[in-house]
Each structure stands twice: as structure tokens, then as C-alpha cells.
Structure 1
Amino acid sequence: MDIYYNYSIDCELPPDGVFGGPANWQVAEKSTRGFIDAMAKLGVLEGATLFVYPDVAKKQATLFRELADQHIEIALHLHGKRYSRISNNKWMGEMTYQEQKAAIQAAKADLEEVTQQPCLGYRACYASANDDTFPILEELGFTWSSTSASGSYKPAVYACWSGGWPFPYHPSRVNKLIPGHLSIYEIPLTRGLRTFFMDDPERPMDMRVETPIEIRGENFESFSQIIVENITEMEKRNQPIRVIIGASHNTNLYGDPLSLAFQNLEGATRLAKEKTLDAGHSFVPASFNTIKNRALEINAF
């Protein structure tokens, strides 16, 4: 069976005194270019995706138009408190149906103006969403998303995903946590099912490149555990579309092979391939859109 591999970065704004981000615009561009180069060097460029704030896309329009022309997958990343075209200062999951729809619609248009391509995918910053989010995305023409954070419960930022389905699924129209019959396909990040950050059960660990060695493990033990427990659980549940999905940010110097960022990206990629092959499956680097298309082909739930 195929197991699809994707690693993405969220392309965010420089710090504003409240929220963090890349140190400056130069670091942001160097990080983004370095990530694409690193994924090519690792032989998994087909599985590289950029989730981009609309204001970042407008500020760095030349960069993202160039990458779009190179067929790099570019999708929308949105933070309700950091978007210049809305003024309600709310988390995405805090917004009413109409507020959230207006914000996402405007942001989608901004990104498409830069890339000159349809924007098909979405990720909410901080995984902030509510039960209106997936129906809104479908209504606005998105065909896939990667916004859920199964196991995480952060009501302060309206990111309440406790008990959510942890693998790719067509969401319910009335409950964001469970499979249903919407056409949009949600492809969550791969997060620990029994592996937690700092042993906090409400913070399932993921494979972000900022992870310190003392938490990751000298030999990437934590990354390995996350991957193996997900492969094993997908098998137990007869999950129709199986994935290993990692993500980080445009804050890291991926282009430096001695950096922690590159080493963690390499480690996550290598282990995803090794553990997939060890389990008797095929390792397939893929865009989110490719994964969604495969789900449609086999009529996956």
C-alpha cells in the first residue's frame, strides 16, 4: 500500500511584539528558498508544500510567483489576528460563519492574485477553527485542507480538536472532528498518538524542525515513535489513504546542512521512508492535491 509523504512550512509574518515569526523579511525568503532546496536535495520535492499568509504573499510576491511557476504547491495560511484586511481581531475559530467566510474569501483572492493560480488548500494558524470552517472552505472552492490538530485542546485559541479523527477524511458538515460527507478532504499533520511534547497529553508531538535534540532524541527516537505508531494505527483502522505529514515554519535555515532545521528535516524524511518500507508499504512523496485526488479515485471516506 502507498504511504504518502509531505512536509510543509507555514510562511508567516515577522514578529509584531505579540506573535513570533521569521526575524525579518530577508530571513523569511532565505528560509523558504532553503526549504525548497533541501526538499529537492532529499529527493522529496514532490512532497513540498508552502502555506502562505496573504500579507506575506503580497510582500514577497516575486518569490511566490516564481515558486508557483515552478509548480511548487502553494496554499493559504490564515491567522485571524494578523491579516490586514480584517479588523475584528478574532481567532479564526472564534468568528461567526459570515466573519470567517469573509476573511477566508478575501485571503484566498489575495493569494490567487499573487500566484495567478487557483488556491485549493487551506491551513488555519494555531489550528483555530470551528464547525463552520470545513463547510465554508467547500463553499469557497477549496478542495483540501490540513488544519486539524487531533488530540490537541486549546480553547484559548479556539483550537479544540480532542477526539478528532487523526488521519485523512472527508469531514462532517456539522462536526469538524469526525468523518462525514463534505467533498473537501482534510489531511491532518502526523502527530503522536501516544507520544506527547513534554509528556503533556493535550500536546501530541509532531515532527517540526525546531524540536531540540534533547526532546527529539540523539537518534530521532521521538520522530521514529510518532511515525511507527501512526503507521501501525492506520493499519489497525484500515485507513484508506495513509500519510506521514510533517510541518514547520519559515523561520529556519534549511539551506545549511549543519543546522538543526536541516538535520531534523532529513531525519524525519529518512525515518518516514525507512519505517514505511519496513512495514511493507511504498513510500510516495506527494503534494496535498495529489493525495486528495487519490482519495477521490478510491472513494475514500
Structure 2
Amino acid sequence: MSDELYLVFTMDCERIARFSPPGGPQDWNISERAIRGFAETLLENNLIGTFFIVPETAQRHRELFLELEKEGFELGMHYHAQAFLDGRYKKYLGEYSSEEQYEQLEAAKDYWEKALERSAESFRAGNCSASDDTFRVLKELGFRQGSTYIPDRNIPKFAAVWVGAYPYAHHTHSSNRLIPGDMEYFEVPITADPERSRVWGGKDTLQLRIEQVGKEVSPQQHLDLIDRIIRDQVEKEIPIKTIVPVTHNFFDYSDRENPLQRHLARVAKYFWEAAERFGLKLMPATIKQIHQAADAF
């Protein structure tokens, strides 16, 4: 059993709210301050992570993302059907057929790659929306890994039903999104409470979502959750132990008086302490690096 704990902080980078029905930052200035402040806070704590970026935001913040890539961050693709292009798509990704998903994601991938002049290899679906076809479609399009779901999320409205989904990093199945398989496409789920405590009116599992603090959970509840997550993977002898916190580019993480920035810094520091207490070596990582580590294990 490995004594390494892979930690990848993630940020979903959306279009501004007026172009993004599922939600977005108030304006591009807040978006930039969120992205830069998030990265600076992590780097100050010797951590990195993965940005999941919708195509239009990749274009808007191109130079910023390329700068952060040089600091060790990974640039992955994020996708909300309703926020892409001119709003022509009205449903959630998982509601579309495999052919329709392929068509949309192919166009989005092309847009993203032209914006950043990089290959899009890692993916996250907006709202965790997916069907049993989605992982296969992603593999066919050349994506290699992702972080698409929250275990036990149950929101049919979003086509985001993950009740019973395998909660640890794994290769995916070609026709069943809930179980491991032998496809090359590798999934590192957003980390959720192993005790399955609920938030959002019972629709979602408690997770390390930074912006929940002050609304649904206290800072101490997040620190306790980190301990439960690590203990669960140690006791079950999970070979590739991972933790994936999440946030969005809606919040000014460059403002050191912002309670969310303070909580991000608190959590970032706490991971080092918690890993040491459990006798694990903390490995700051990206989603791609976790896939590479799993294949080399």
C-alpha cells in the first residue's frame, strides 16, 4: 500500500454570469482576481492544482492561464452546455444523446485548444452532468482523465445522478458511469464525505467546496471532513489516495480579508498537518499527474 496522499485543488472557471445561465462571476475582473488569488494562496503553501476552464474563459484569460501553467498548474476543460457559444444548447450535458454530446464537446474542445494552443486532456462536466455514454465520448475525443462527479450526488434536474458511484480514483467503464472499468480514461472524483452526510437540502454529499463555509458548514467541519476522508482511505487501503477540493472563479481570493481566502489558506495548511498525523506523504498534484501515478503504481 502506498503511503502517498495526492492532493489536487481544483477551480471551475466559468464565463461571466450574464453569459452563463448555470452561474458565473459578476465580471471578468472578479474572475481574474479569483483565479490569481487562488493560485497565489496555493503556491504560498507549496501546493498546485487543476483549473477546469470553459472555452470562452480560456480565451479571455489566456495569458493568465499560460502564466500559471508555468508555475505547475494544469489547464483542463470545463463544459456547461447552456453557457457555450450563443446559448443555443438549453439542456444539461447528460441529457443529450452520445452523438449530441460528441458534437458539442468536439466543438468546445476545438475552441478551447485554439484559445490556449494546448491539447485538452483533462475534463470536468458542469454540474457533474453525465450519462453512461459520457466517459466513452470523452475517450473517443482524446481526453485522458477528468474529475467529473461528486459521489452520491442526486440531482436528476442536472442529469447528475451519482448514487452508488465508486468514490475513489479509477479507470472508467465504457457503458456504466458508476463503476470502474478498463478504459484508458481515468476519473478522480471530487472528494466527498465517506459518511455521506448531506447538504443542499439532501441533494448532495458534503464535500470540500470552499464557498460552502459560512453558508452550510463551519471551518471546523471542513477540517474534520479532511480527517474522515484520509482515515477512510487508509483503513480501506486504497492504493492511490486522493483528495480533490473544489471552488469557482466567483470569489475574490486575492483579497486577504475575504473569509473564503482565509479558509482556503487554512485548509491548505491543514492538509500538511493531517497527512503527517496519518503517516502519509502529501503529494501536491494535478489530475493528470494522479493518472500517471496510478498507471505507474
Pair 1:293 & 2:292 matched: yes
Q: Which sits farther off after the overlay, 287-296 or 199-208?
A: 199-208
Contact (CA 8 Å) 1:195, 1:225: kept in 2 or not? no
Q: Which sits farther off after the overlay, 226-235 or 15-24?
A: 15-24
User: Separation in 1 of the partners of 2:201 and 2:110?
Assistant: 38
Cα shift at 1:182: 0.8
Secondary structure class of the residue paired with 1:112? helix
Paired residue type of 1:235: V
Q: How does 1:194-205 map to 2 (within 5 A)?
A: 194=195, 196-198=197-199, 200-205=201-206
Aligned to 1:39: 42
User: Separation in 2 of the partners of 1:86 and 1:135?
Assistant: 25
User: Separation in 1 of the partners of 2:84 and 2:15?
Assistant: 10
**Structure 2 gaps, min length 5:** none
Q: Which sits farther off after the overlay, 109-118 or 78-87?
A: 78-87
Pair 1:117 & 2:138 matched: no
Aligned to 1:164: 165
Give the RMSD, CA atoms, in angstroms: 1.9
User: Separation in 2 of the partners of 1:69 and 1:267?
Assistant: 25
Cα shift at 1:206: 1.5
Aligned to 2:68: 67
User: Separation in 2 of the partners of 1:121 and 1:42?
Assistant: 24
Paired residue type of 1:56: T
User: Separation in 1 of the partners of 2:175 and 2:110?
Assistant: 26
Q: Deviations over 1:156-194 (max 9, x none)?
A: 110000010111011111110111111111001111122
TM-score (norm 1): 0.91
User: Separation in 2 of the partners of 1:192 and 1:59?
Assistant: 35
Q: Which sits farther off after the overlay, 225-234 or 154-163?
A: 225-234
Cα shift at 1:62: 3.2
Cα shift at 1:231: 1.5
**Higher relative contact order, chain-length normalized (CA < 8 Å, sep 6+):** 2
Contact (CA 8 Å) 1:148, 1:188: kept in 2 or not? yes
Cα shift at 1:277: 1.3
**Residue in structure 1 matching 2:16, options 14, 38, 41:** 14
Paired residue type of 2:16: P
Pair 1:83 & 2:84 matched: yes
Cα shift at 1:98: 0.8
Cα shift at 1:77: 0.3
**Structure 1 gaps, min length 5:** none
Cα shift at 1:70: 4.8
Q: Deviations over 1:55-93 (max 9, x none)?
A: 111233333344345553100000011101773422100
Contact (CA 8 Å) 1:126, 1:157: kept in 2 or not? yes
Paired residue type of 1:37: E
Contact (CA 8 Å) 1:215, 1:222: kept in 2 or not? no
Q: How does 1:115-264 map to 2 (within 5 A)?
A: 115-194=116-195, 196-198=197-199, 200-213=201-214, 215-217=216-218, 220-264=219-263
TM-score (norm 2): 0.93
Paired residue type of 1:28: S
Contact (CA 8 Å) 1:195, 1:204: kept in 2 or not? yes
What is the number of equivalent residue pairs in this alignment? Answer: 294
Contact (CA 8 Å) 1:170, 1:184: kept in 2 or not? yes
Aligned to 1:3: 5
User: Separation in 1 of the partners of 2:155 and 2:216?
Assistant: 22
Paired residue type of 1:140: L
Contact (CA 8 Å) 1:85, 1:106: kept in 2 or not? no
Q: Deviations over 1:194-248 (max 9, x none)?
A: 253548544211122212336433xx32112322222222123321110111010
Contact (CA 8 Å) 2:12, 2:52: kept in 1 or not? yes
Q: Which sits farther off after the overlay, 66-75 or 140-149?
A: 66-75
Secondary structure class of the residue paired with 2:205? coil
Paired residue type of 2:247: S
Contact (CA 8 Å) 2:22, 2:80: kept in 1 or not? no
Paired residue type of 1:21: G
User: Separation in 2 of the partners of 1:103 and 1:207?
Assistant: 30
User: Separation in 2 of the partners of 1:41 and 1:192?
Assistant: 27
Contact (CA 8 Å) 1:65, 1:114: kept in 2 or not? no
Paired residue type of 1:33: R
Secondary structure class of the residue paired with 2:293? helix
Change (3 A) 1:270 1:70: closer
